[in-house]
Amino acid sequence: MTMTAMAKPEAPSGCFPRAENRCHVVSNAPMNSEYRLLVVDAPETGLSAYAGQFFHLLCPATATEQPFLRRPMSIYRIDRENGQLGFLYKVTGKGTRALASLAPGDELNATGPLGVGFSLPEGTKHVAMVARGVGLATLAPLARMARAQGAMVTAILSARAPEFLMSRDELEAAGARVIEVNDVAGNSAPQEVINRLRDIHAETPIDFMATCGSNRLLGLTRDLCSEWRIPGQVAVEAFMGCGLGMCFACVVPVRDAQGHEEMKRVCYDGPVFGVEEVTAW
């Protein structure tokens, strides 16, 4: 198939809020033994992304594979000054293996920005973020967004071992205070993280929480949000068909305030939901 070669020219900005952005790869380097950072030059529509949104990436054909569907990738860096977008990813399957083959100068067709991202209530003073694994990527732009709104940011980053920790620099550059925990040090268990958060809350009250990448972290975030009566949001990840709310493949059960459950699309109704809305994923 040769569809890539004739991808749609970008829609005039202001006319269509989303587009098949024809981006160009600036770099695609490994960050550690697990993660790679893909940086691309992006057109204006792509740069209109905000924290928690994602792009649906057309994975290039390699000598052995041609992933048919696009792959959703949350946005890790929105650098409007330099006209660049960054995606932090872990090579886990066919799609991400294909992405890893991209070289500087190659074209990347990225549909987006897609989905509903984070929304920080006005007047938020202290955001606490807890994330694990690749979930960290999703929260980095939220730190910038929160700082820009005048909030203080504390980020607890969790990983299997210290060498797998990612995004510390990115988060610190965004103005976040970063706390690292890991399984080897034995300080990443939910109870430990909860105790940490309680101490932080006692010091400077937390009035918004965000999480991504772990069911256990979602659980503890939900509990603390309800105890402290503060809003919290989670970015949900799912395998997707279309990324645009059309195919209904990426649904998760979402509960409203009355306890009524409905299957909602991660790509279109999310990927960011209230922590109290999402049961499990």
Partner 1 sequence: MVDLFVTIGGVHMANPIMPASGSIAEGMADLVDLGKLGAIVLKTITPDIRQGVKPPRVVEYTDATLFSIGIPSKGPDYLLNHTVPFFARFGPPVIASISADTAEDFGTLAGYITDPRIAAIEANISCPNLRAHGRAFGMDPVAAAEVIRAMKANTDLPIWAKLTPNVGDIAEIARAVEDAGADAVVTANAILGMGINAETMTPRLGNVVGGLTGPAVKPVILRMVNQCAEAVKIPVIGCGGIATGEDVVEYMLAGASAVQIGTMNFVHTAAMEQSIAWVTDYCTRKNIARVAELTGALKLPVDQNSEQRGAVAL
Ligand X SMILES: Cc1cc2nc3c(=O)[nH]c(=O)nc-3n(C[C@H](O)[C@H](O)[C@H](O)COP(=O)(O)O)c2cc1C
* Size of the residue set binding partner 1 (CB under 8 A): 35
Partner whose binding site includes residue 100, from ligand X, partner 1, none (CB under 5 to 8 Å by kind):
none
Q: Which of residues 212-251 bind partner 1 (CB under 8 A)?
A: 239, 241-251
* Size of the residue set binding ligand X (CB under 6 A): 2
Q: Are 75 and 141 in contact (CB under 8 A)?
A: yes
Alpha carbons 167 and 185: distance in angstroms, whole number: 19
Q: Which is nearer to ligand X, 69 or 152 (CB)?
A: 69
Q: Which of residues 22-81 bind partner 1 (CB under 8 A)?
A: 58, 66-70
Q: Which is nearer to ligand X, 11 or 247 (CB)?
A: 247
Residue 220 has a CB neighbour count (10 Å cut-off) of 19
Alpha carbons 18 and 117: distance in angstroms, whole number: 14
Q: State the residue for tokens 């958060």.
A: 197
Q: Binding of partner 1 at residue 8 (CB under 8 A)?
A: yes
Residue stretches of the annotated binding site = 71-74, 95-96, 242, 247, 250, 267
Q: Out of 26, 100, 247, 251, which residue is the one contacting ligand X (CB under 6 A)?
A: 247
User: Could you tell me where the DSSP H helices lie in 105-261?
Assistant: 135-148, 168-173, 190-203, 215-228
User: Could you tell me where the DSSP H helices lie in the chain?
Assistant: 44-47, 94-100, 135-148, 168-173, 190-203, 215-228
3-state secondary structure (DSSP) of residue 152: strand
Q: How far is the CB of 69 from partner 1 (least distance, A)?
A: 5
Residues in touch with ligand X (CB under 6 A): 241, 247
Binding site for partner 1 (CB under 8 A): 1, 3, 6-8, 11, 16-20, 58, 66-70, 94, 111, 239, 241-252, 262-263, 268
